[in-house]
Structure 1
Amino acid sequence: MKFRYLGNSGLKISEITYGNWLTHGSQVENDTATACVHAALDAGITTFDTADVYANTAAEKVLGDALQGQRRESLEIFTKVYWPTGPKGHNDVGLSRKHILESIDGSLRRLGTDYVDLYQAHRYDVETPLEETMQAFADIVRQGKALYIGVSEWTAGQLRAGQELASQLGFRIISSQPQYSMLWRVIEPEVIPASKELGISQIVWSPMAQGVLSGKYKPGQPAPAGSRATDEKGGAAMVHRFLDNEQLVERVQGLQPIADELGISMAQLAIAWVLQNDNVAAALVGASRPEQITHNVAASGVTIPPELMTRIDEVLGDVVVRDPSLTRAPQGRPA
């Protein structure tokens, strides 16, 4: 396993990071989730990412239980705040001081730890003054409940405004967690240049485009049984965003010869591809079976030569989404 610094900080994280969105507390049984976490540890993963909203707080509890008995100082545990949790009352959402300070305590309790290494704003809150949000994060850092602060799906302008306030308050935003893959490159035009300027690096989610880049979805054929595209509880709608484009599915199959040339699978190629970007600190991978983790970790340390990076672009062509306006920034809080 290779390790990278997270942003302009001294924190090193495993470049393959285990995430439990859609799986723990929901898609897989707890004993299987624990087996996946242990497989991640055995494979050299030290960094684990979750959020209070995943399975309405259950995912944090499952992860915390699975990590019990591990040396805390040898782990990097990340979680997030923003989306509604619990009974989803009027203050159970957003980045208000009330919601942030209450949420960090709940997350620490479920995770069974005194602190998280990274606490992330899961989205930008357009209804709470940014000054209030940043002050709450500053207080959490001073209290030792979070060592570092990050964000998820913020635009370049939001990153700049947030970093300016953070700096005035004595801390720094060190990470951004956006969706990023060969097929979804909306952060490249604006977010990545701004992040480099601000000392922020990316922890990217869905590097395999919800499994589409694994190559298991074939043109003109039904989705394989048990795949995410057939699981209405496991993000099927997000997969079909890609699968409903027949040309895209055909182009993805054209990546197989490139993977073969490198001696790796298409899934490993997808993970290795995002890690070629020098602003990416880690690729988030999940698993519903331990062997998936073992397989995906083999992408760590893989170098894709420039000529093959060019060929990937040629194969995918215009099915790649690059529009920076699609960076996820909600216009208001969810109901």
Structure 2
Amino acid sequence: MRFRSVGRSGLRLSTLGYGSWVSFGNQLDVNGAKLLLTAAREVGINYFDNAEVYANGKSEEIMGEAIQQLGWKRSEFVISTKLFWGGSGPNEIGLSRKHIHEGIKDSLQRLQMEYVDLIFCHRPDAITPIEETVRAMNFVMDHGWAFYWGTSEWSAQQITEACEVAKRLSMVGPIVEQPEYNFLSREKVEMEYLPLYSTYGTGLTTWSPLASGLLTGKYSKRNIPPNSRFSLENYKNLAKRTLVDDVLNKVDNLKPIADELQVTLAQLSIAWCTLNPYVSSIITGASSKSQLLENVKGLDIIPRLTPDVLDRIEENFQSKPKLPDPYR
């Protein structure tokens, strides 16, 4: 396993991380989580991602209890969680100082930890001033409840404002953004965020490299495997929006390329994400040890992604963002 720095910070993350979004609390209990977490550590993964909203807090509870039972040394791994959707009350949602303060304390209690390494603003808050959020995140770090903070699915403009507010206040700004990134979702990472990498040293912990499992090739309109993500009741609407003919055809067209390389579609998709130098870690999900190990093997095929292979992939998806022509 290789490790990368998070932007310009000194924090080092495994190239692949493990995220508990769907699995913990929906598919796995504490015993299942222990098996997955142990397998992840055995292959060198040191980064584990969570959020207060995952399984309505159950995901954090399961991860925390599993780690307690495993007896891991806290300094050997990195935990991140995300705040925004903490409950149904008017002050349990968003990025106000009140919710950030109360939300991180609740998350730490569920995780059974004194601190998380990274805390993310799970979405931008249209109501709360960014200055209030910047001050609140620094309050969290000043109290030792987190070491770094970042954003998730923010626009480049919003991240820029947060960085400039922090600079004006002599505070710490966000060091990392957590966007979706895969063959089908590239605009933010490859174009919109470009100025952030050089100006603020923003790092990325990207999610959904397999587009919610779509890029594994296991789905079709008529075939949704039992116990898969799209078979879960609360993901059926996402399945209807995602499993469309055009996208499914592109996934099918990718199979011959993967076959020639003697790899799975999942491995090809994950390896492709690692080629972006601004990606600090790719958050992968898995509900079984075999899935996890298959994902990790994607790192072995990086040298096989020659320019010719990449051109064939792009010809199929035609998803590469086009930079604007400054002379037009």
Per the normalisation by structure 2, the TM-score is 0.91
1:213 corresponds to which of 212, 215, 229: 215
* Structure having the larger proportion of residues in helix: 2
1:71 corresponds to which of 70, 73, 79: 73
2:191 alignment partner AA: P
1:236 alignment partner AA: K
Q: Is the 8 A contact 1:138 1:169 kept in 2?
A: no
Secondary structure of residue in 2 paired with 1:18: strand
- What does 1:1-335 correspond to in 2, within 5 Å? 1-68=1-68, 69-85=71-87, 88-167=88-167, 168-187=169-188, 188-218=190-220, 221-233=222-234, 235-243=235-243, 245-300=244-299, 302-303=301-302, 304-317=305-318, 320=319
1:225 CA displacement: 3.1
Q: Distance in 2 between matches of 1:59 and 1:222?
A: 28
1:119/1:195 CA distance change after superposition, 3 Å:
same
Q: Distance in 2 between matches of 1:277 and 1:240?
A: 30
Q: Distance in 2 between matches of 1:259 and 1:193?
A: 33
Measured against aligned partners, the alpha-carbon deviations of 1:218-264 in whole angstroms (never above 9, x if no partner) come to 4x64223333222223x233233221x21221121111222233332
Measured against aligned partners, the alpha-carbon deviations of 1:44-83 in whole angstroms (never above 9, x if no partner) come to 1110000011111111111111112101000001001111
Q: Is the 8 A contact 1:209 1:239 kept in 2?
A: no
Q: Distance in 2 between matches of 1:4 and 1:294?
A: 20
Runs of 4+ in structure 1 off by over 4 angstroms are 321-324
Q: Which moved more, 1:154-163 or 1:137-146?
A: 137-146
1:48/1:241 CA distance change after superposition, 3 Å:
same
Q: Is the 8 A contact 2:215 2:251 kept in 1?
A: yes
1:221/1:53 CA distance change after superposition, 3 Å:
closer
Query: Gaps spanning 5+ residues in structure 1: where?
Result: 325-335
Q: Distance in 1 between matches of 2:306 and 2:320?
A: 23
Higher relative contact order (CA 8 A, sep 6+): 1
Per the normalisation by structure 1, the TM-score is 0.89
Measured against aligned partners, the alpha-carbon deviations of 1:281-317 in whole angstroms (never above 9, x if no partner) come to 1111111112111111112354222221111010123
Counting aligned pairs with the same residue, the percent is 39
Q: Distance in 2 between matches of 1:58 and 1:51?
A: 10
Secondary structure of residue in 2 paired with 1:189: helix
Query: Gaps spanning 5+ residues in structure 2: where?
Result: 324-328
1:112 CA displacement: 1.6
Q: Is the 8 A contact 1:35 1:290 kept in 2?
A: yes
Number of residue pairs the alignment of both structures matches: 317
